[in-house]
Amino acid sequence: MDGRKALYPCSCCGYRTLKDGPGSYLICPICFWEDDPLQLRWPLMDDGANGVSLVQAQRNFIRFAAGEERFLPRVRPPSEAETVPDGWRIIDLTVDRFEPTDEQLHPWPDDSKALYWWSPGFWHPCADDRGLA
């Protein structure tokens, strides 16, 4: 290790650009997504810190390399040091389960990294006694 603090991945583009953990409200310089904890927990929410939902921003990033088209002048390509973590992928609504937007079925997790849908530590908030999964 070279002594630098590991960076956290942007939930929109996946590149490690954020110096603080999930939900830090930092803006990714690669895709210009603002790291909103509400939109990380409820990725179909389109009225958080960003003008579109996380799911839409990920689709936009694939199409034109920015979370929103209006931010194209502000984005940049990733550097060699800005990598994507192993296993990172965009949200797949046929596989990934989230709470209904704005409906809190469970308290917030103690560790915000549990909101990373691609990680083995994802908290699966919809797996509850009501049979949601």
Range of the domain at 85: 1-132
Please name the residue that has the structure tokens 């797949």. 92
pLDDT of residue 125: 74
Greatest alpha-carbon span in the chain: 47
- As given in the structure block, the two tokens for residue 107 are 């308290």
pLDDT of residue 128: 52
- As given in the structure block, the two tokens for residue 116 are 């990373």
pLDDT top residue among 24 and 127 = 24
Judge whether residue 132 has pLDDT over 60.
no
* Cα-based distances in Å from 30 to 8, 17, 26, 91, 101: 13, 8, 12, 18, 26
Tens-place pLDDT, residues 88-129: 999 999 999 999 998 999 999 999 999 999 999 998 777 654
Tens-place pLDDT, residues 62-99: 999 999 999 999 999 999 999 999 999 999 999 999 99
Three-state SS annotation for the chain: CCCCCCCEECCCCCCEEECCCCCCCCECCCCCCECCHHHHHCCCCCCCCCCCCHHHHHHHHHHHCCCCHHHHHHCCCCCCCCCCCCCCCCCCCCCCCCCCCCCCCCCCCCCHHHHCCCCCCCCCCCCCCCCCC
Tens-place pLDDT, residues 29-52: 999 999 999 999 999 999 999 999
pLDDT of residue 1: 41
Query: How many structural domains are present in the chain?
Result: 1
pLDDT of residue 131: 41
